[in-house]
Amino acid sequence: MNKKFRISLILSLALASLPACGAWTDGQATVDRDDAYIAEVTDADQVRYIGGQPIGLYATEQINYVSKVIVEDIYTDGDAPEYYDNSADMTNSCGAVSGSIAVGFYDKYYSNMIPDWDSYYPSGIYRKQDAEHVGALKRDLYARMQTNVYGDGVTEDDFKNGLSSYINERGYNVSYSSVGSKGSFNYNLFKEAIRNNQVTVLFTQPSNVYRIGILSNADVVSSTYISGNHIMVAFGYYEVKYIMNGGARHEIYLRVCTAWGEPSRGFYKVGSYLVDAVTVKIN
Amino acid sequence: MSEEKKFRKLIQNHDVENRDKILNELNAACLQDFDAEKMEKRKSSKRKFMAVFLPVGAVAACLAITLPIVLPKKNEPQSNIRTFSSHEYSIKAYDQNIKEYAQANSKNILYFDWYDNADNCTTDCYSENGTQAVLGLKEYVVNGNTGEAVEIQFTDISIYIDVLNEISDICKNEYVVNSVVLKWVVDDINLNGVFEYGDYRYFVTLERNTDENRLFELVESLINN
């Protein structure tokens, strides 16, 4: 078999296999894109957050276990409000929505944070958004954060400046404490914030949010892919250990309000795609 | 006159004694050369065949295997199943609740009729980008009498929305309610259930309650209404 023939055969087989590759990969995404295709962040202040669209990955993993230990499961009182953008015109609005979630959260503790509306039921559980009050709040923050003014979405500074402007106008002070990012995420600081009933805003590059279905002797974990740089609000910490036949597994998740309509809440794993995480403190 | 013919004439004219022997040897040698030439030509043809037709055959074989998978089958009825991912739709506030939508469009759609006593009722639609077609509705309602919070979503049975498929994916338990198969799961602090009834697929979320019996009761009440 001469060289030309071998090359010819290889090229032909490669061309013929292209349709098969297309059929196989269409709709078949990897379960975990946590560290794939992440651009190196050299200046966190320059990253713009556009509100990545949730993409169903059709990727579900069933973890069959012999035993399961929930090491720690803590969250803020009443969780956090699950606001999302359902407007006809706001775009790249994750900054405004996540800012609204933080405001709605603190409305329970600081009077009139949302004017003329209580974000919570007497039981302490947060209400879903309403068109009038939370709708107005989202639009206000959208403008204050200068969404889409100097580029698509907002930067972290845009988010902080816009949120601060709103909170200050309500008569309160606000500060932001970093709990780390990427490989230096400080779980102890994050847990301390939860115990102090404070929420933490996550600035993330594309990654996943998970649902965890609970079966008998198994958890079913499905992934929703965050398709762009996104801002979410974390309000809880969930650590679990599985003992399985032939092995063990240890997972740590942050509980998050996603700022999406569906899923509106989920679990998030810290990875190199997390640009920054700041606890919002009001006084 | 060709060189060979000259050579033969030379043999015929100069070496009468060995002429026949030499001529026979000459003829045999010529035949060998001819066969070798033919063999060479055959080998060359065979190489050309291998270089061209064998890869073509390999391509054809690969296409024969992969194309039926990729292409829709001509002789079978075209499926009306439509699948939507997030860049193809938006979730938008909707100005009718499910009951009003069903009545306005003369559709037999299930809903929780708690509207008169609802503490909170928010209805959104999955709106197809571009056409603004309603792919499904999503309604959150809190029963003002009991404080119970549920979310009900529905799509046409031929429509699949990716983020709703993920709910279906984790609903691994099954329970039969009035001959309707309800798939369900405890989803963190909520209960999720999925079932098909009539022309629609329904997703019911019971918030902050992991008692599946209550989910079964709610679904039964939906179907029986």
Q: Is residue A194 a contact partner of residue A235, using CB atoms and an 8 Å limit?
A: yes
Contacts of A263 in chain B (CB under 8 A): 163, 166
CATH 3.90.190 fits A52-282, yes or no: no
CA distance B102 to chain A (A): 21
pLDDT tens per residue, range B27-52? 665 555 545 555 555 556 667 667 66
Contacts of A17 in chain B (CB under 8 A): 62, 66
**Contacts (Cβ under 8 Å, ≥6 apart) of A23:** B66, B69, B70
pLDDT of residue A216: 94
pLDDT of residue A53: 80
- CA angle A185–A191–A197, rounded 5-degree value: 130
pLDDT tens per residue, range B206-217? 999 999 999 999
Q: Check A22 against B165: CB less than 8 A apart.
A: no
| ipTM score of complex | 0.84
Q: What is the mean pLDDT of residues B122-127?
A: 97
Residues with pLDDT less than 50, chain A:
16, 18-38
Q: What does the block give as tokens for B62?
A: 């690969």
pLDDT of residue A43: 72
CA distance A183 to chain B (A): 27
pLDDT of residue A57: 75
Residue B89 has pLDDT above 60, yes or no: yes
Helices then strands, counting H and E runs in chain B, come out as 5, 10
Q: Which of B62, B153, B166 sits opposite A224 (nearest CB)?
A: B166
pLDDT of residue A34: 40
Q: Which of B93, B163, B171 sits opposite A262 (nearest CB)?
A: B163
Q: Is B83 or A4 the better-scoring residue by pLDDT?
A: B83
Domain ranges of chain A: 52-282
In whole angstroms, give the CA distance from residue A51 to residue A226. 8
DSSP string across A22-63? HHHHTT---S--TTSSPPP-S-GGG--B--PPEEEEEEEEEE
Q: Check B122 against A58: CB less than 8 A apart.
A: no
Q: Check A214 against B166: CB less than 8 A apart.
A: no
Q: Which of A23, A221, A224 sits opposite B66 (nearest CB)?
A: A23
Q: Is residue B169 a contact partner of residue A215, using CB atoms and an 8 Å limit?
A: no
Q: Which residues pair with A18 in a beta bridge?
A: none
Contacts of A8 in chain B (CB under 8 A): 51-52, 55
pLDDT of residue A33: 37
